[in-house]
Amino acid sequence: MKRLIFDARLKSVPEPTLRRLPMYYRYLKELQKEHWSSVSCTNIGEEFRFEPTQVRKDLEMTGIVGKPRVGYPVAALIAAIKQFLGFNNVNEAFLVGAGSMGSALIGYNKFQEYGLNIVQVFDNDPSKIGKQVHGKTILALDKLPEMARQMRILIGIIAVPAAAAQDVTDLMLSGGICALWNFAPARLQVPDSIIVHNEDLYCSLASLSQKVAQALRSREKVEPSPLPVQATGKEDNLTNARGVYAQTQNKLRLPDLDDRMPGDEVLRN
Amino acid sequence: MKRLIFDARLKSVPEPTLRRLPMYYRYLKELQKEHWSSVSCTNIGEEFRFEPTQVRKDLEMTGIVGKPRVGYPVAALIAAIKQFLGFNNVNEAFLVGAGSMGSALIGYNKFQEYGLNIVQVFDNDPSKIGKQVHGKTILALDKLPEMARQMRILIGIIAVPAAAAQDVTDLMLSGGICALWNFAPARLQVPDSIIVHNEDLYCSLASLSQKVAQALRSREKVEPSPLPVQATGKEDNLTNARGVYAQTQNKLRLPDLDDRMPGDEVLRN
DNA sequence: TCAATATCGAGAAATATTTCTCGATATTAA
DNA sequence: TTAATATCGAGAAATATTTCTCGATATTGA
């Protein structure tokens, strides 16, 4: 039976902080372009509609020290976040799946600024092998393990249909890859030592869907005013107490059982 | 000055719950395929390595009622989650940006099962207009507001470069769209009444990056003694106290040249 | 110089979320 | 039938996260 014992050695970065820091990072880069020399938590908080104290606590994690009445030097703050989030040591990654999602990812040209460099692209479709996507040649999937081992690749990006995701995962792990960024709508079975970061658009859509449904329900109930919701987009993708509060609770109608059987989990290639 | 006053009327769905429910949903569909008739919180918890109680609290939000010693009927539970997340009332959406990300999104063929139906695709590149993507004809962007109004579209999907995102947003809002799914790496300025759901891959990558960096750091510090690790990929994308703690402690297992894996598995064709 | 003020840093308080505990109940097996 | 047991539901406890408070300090302007 597991116990609720707090162990300070295990203290870590709060997930919400980890989601907000990159947002600050980009904003700070904008400020830098506009030649701001320093910035306060109030400034940042206003931009994102967060409490200044929350911003301050987040920044505290990076080890930066500010000055009362002034704030933080923009350049130093950017550097601190960059260091903290690990953008300085860029890791090389292999991507599997040269379909439209894979191609879209390869097209992202600033992953390097966030610590990621996609160095090879793989697919198992013979008609794709040898062709180029955004300047990168597609290689045969079965070459992945050996190459990953030789190049000491740490990160694998999975952009294949759900049905193939587990096989690709196994292949990556056999090549020594130990962190996965998974775009397939599937749960991956991996050992505990492997870092998995799921980017499941169906799951992400679900929360949007719920918010829209809730907004529609409260619109029907309250009045035909077209603006029923109070949450702001800037608060989204976060755990923010006020944002959560802002959502109104609605009672459910009874479940109706006309649930169609799903098709298979396969993304189009 | 805002106050910390709790108002039960504003009580709402916890964000973490909202992220977990869709995961359960897909898993339950798998169980249904395997002809499970009922499922317990213990079953679900084991699959995702969550505490059964947490699963129970999550399911409670949907209004489902279970039986002691038995669990929940699978079909009814699926229906309850579906209803709760708003998958039953499918909303029509417009998508702007027929680039690689836009194409990838149009290719997702099961958004309908999650409450979303992409009905029109727009772009402002004359060379793309009139062409088809996954069977959908690309229309000129300037037709969006009028069509959105006529068709009473509520949801807009933004898959354009960051520089164009705000303009597209304004155009969508002028057409009466009130919920945005934003794939552009940019903050959108919108009124408080608008729901914005950001899908910023750079920000998402940041948290993976931080975890990899931390794992590498702690590996260097702690020495090559393989400490017991508790994090699992399945816990990812969540705020889970134990998971968060565990991730901190995660020691990345780095590839080792001596560690040959003869007979690498190869994907079936 | 000195008062006014914005902001930081730290710690306390409030709120959210997770985990534990326990009584009730349905199923299984003796 | 009855005992053993797994699980639910609800509420309490523990832990996480956010928000508040306050003393200290740097800047601005009188």
Q: Which residues is B181 bridged to in the sheet? A: B157, B197
Is A49 inside a domain boundary? yes
Q: What is the DSSP letter of B90?
A: P
**Do B208 and B132 share a structural domain?**
no
CB contact under 8 A, B267 and A206: no
- Please check whether residues B188 and B113 belong to one and the same domain: yes
Domain boundary among B64, B85, B106: B85
pLDDT digits (tens, 9 = 90+) for B162-210: 999 999 999 999 999 999 999 999 999 999 999 999 999 999 999 999 9
Residues 25-54 of B with CB under 7 A from strand D: 40-43, 52-53
Phi, psi of B144 (to 5 degrees): -60, -50
The two tokens of residue B161 are: 């470069």
CATH number for the domain spanning B72: value is 1.10.10.10
Q: Which of A163, A171, A170 is nearest to A191 (CA)?
A: A170
Is the pLDDT at B218 greater than 90? The verdict is no
User: Quick check: B231 contacting A, CB < 8 Å?
Assistant: yes
Confidence (pLDDT) at A200: 97
b/e per residue, A34-44, with b = 16+ CB within 10 A?
A: eeeebbbbebb
Quick one: B69 and B95 in the same domain? no
d(CA A55, CA A51): 7
Residue B56, nucleotide of least CA–C1' distance: D8
Which of A21, A50, A85 is a domain's end point? A85
In this structure, the answer to whether residues B217 and B195 fall within a common structural domain is no
pLDDT over 60 at B17, yes or no: yes
Picking from B3, B4, B15, B229 by the largest number of A CB atoms within 10 A of its own CB, the best residue to mutate is B15
Question: Residue B246: pLDDT above 70?
Answer: no
Range in A71-80, A141-150, A189-198, A222-231 the model is least confident about: A222-231
Note whether B191 and B222 are same-domain residues. Answer: no
Examine residue B146 and state whether it is found in any structural domain, yes or no.
yes
* Whole-number Å distance between alpha carbons of A21 and B243: 20
Q: Helix H segments across chain B?
A: 15-33, 41-48, 52-60, 74-85, 100-107, 144-151, 162-174, 201-222, 241-249
Residue carrying structure tokens 């009672």? A251
Give the pairing type, strands A116-123 and A132-133.
unpaired
Question: Judging by DSSP bridges, how do beta strands A155-158 and A179-182 pair with one another?
Answer: parallel
Per-residue pLDDT tens digits for A54-109: 999 999 999 999 999 999 999 999 999 999 999 999 999 999 999 999 999 999 99
Beta carbons of B49 and A208 less than 8 angstroms apart: no
A67 lies in the same domain as A103: no
**Same domain as B130, residue B114:** yes
State the DSSP string of A218-230: HHHHH-S-S----
| Residue that wins the pLDDT comparison between B263 and B237 | B237
Contact A167 B242 (CB under 8 A): no
User: What is the rounded average pLDDT for all residues in chain B?
Assistant: 83
Quick check: A246 pLDDT over 60?
Answer: no
Mean pLDDT, residues B204-228 taken together:
76
Q: Is A223 touching B (CB cutoff 8 A)?
A: no
Distance CA(A218)–CA(A216), nearest Å, equals 6
Residue A11 burial by CB count (10 A; 0-12/13-18/19+): exposed, middle or buried?
exposed
Q: Would residue A64 be called left, alpha or beta, if left means φ above 0 and alpha means ψ between -120 and 50 degrees?
A: beta
Residues 6+ apart with CB under 8 A from B238: A15, B16, B19, B20
For residues B142 and B207, state if they share a domain: no
B258 reaches A (C-beta below 8 A): no
The residues with which B72 forms a beta bridge, in sequence order, are: B39
User: Which residue in B230, B97, B111 sits closest to B168, CA to CA?
Assistant: B97
To probe the interface with B, which of A208, A240, A252, A265 has the most B CB atoms within 10 Å?
A208
Q: How does DSSP classify residue B184?
A: S
B239 vs A16: CB contact, 8 Å cut-off?
A: yes
Domain annotation covers residue B218: yes
Please report, for residues A26, A36, A80, the alpha-carbon distance to residue A33 in angstroms, rounded to integers and kept in the order given.
11, 8, 17
Do A168 and A231 lie in one domain? The reply is no
Report how far residue B204's alpha carbon sits from residue A25's, in angstroms, rounded to the nearest whole number. 13
In this prediction, residue A222 carries a pLDDT of: 60
How close B25 comes to chain A (CA, Å)? 9
Q: Which residues on adjacent β-strands are paired with residue A58?
A: none
Flag whether A265 is in a domain. no
A191 and A97 in a common domain? yes
- The reply to whether A26 falls in a domain is yes
CB contact under 8 A, A171 and B234: no
User: Can you tell me the distance from the alpha carbon of B83 to that of A24, in angstroms, rounded to the nearest whole number?
Assistant: 36
Q: What is the mean pLDDT of residues B42-67?
A: 97
Residue A223's pLDDT band (cuts 50, 70, 90): low
Query: Same structural domain for residues A157 and A123?
Result: yes
Count structural domains, chain A. Answer: 3
Distance, CA of B105 to CA of B116 (rounded, Å)? 12
Helix then strand then coil, % of chain B, to nearest 5 = 45, 15, 40
Residue B257 forms part of a structural domain: no
CATH number for the domain spanning B176: value is: 3.40.50.720
User: Domain range spanning residue B64?
Assistant: 11-85
- Nearest chain A residue to B24, by CA: A203
Gap from A69 CA to D28 C1', in Å?
A: 10
- Asked whether residue A5 is assigned to any structural domain, the reply reads no
- Cβ neighbours of A246 in B, within 8 Å: 10, 12
The pLDDT confidence band at residue A256, using thresholds 50, 70 and 90, is: very low
In-domain check, residue A101: yes
pLDDT of residue A4: 30
Please check whether residues B195 and B208 belong to one and the same domain.
Answer: no
Listed residues B141, B176, B199: the one ending a domain: B199
CA dist B25 and A206 (Å) reads 10
Taking 50 as the threshold, does the pLDDT of residue B245 lie above it?
no
Q: How far is A111 from chain B, CA to nearest CA, in Å?
A: 7
Q: Return the pLDDT at B75.
A: 98
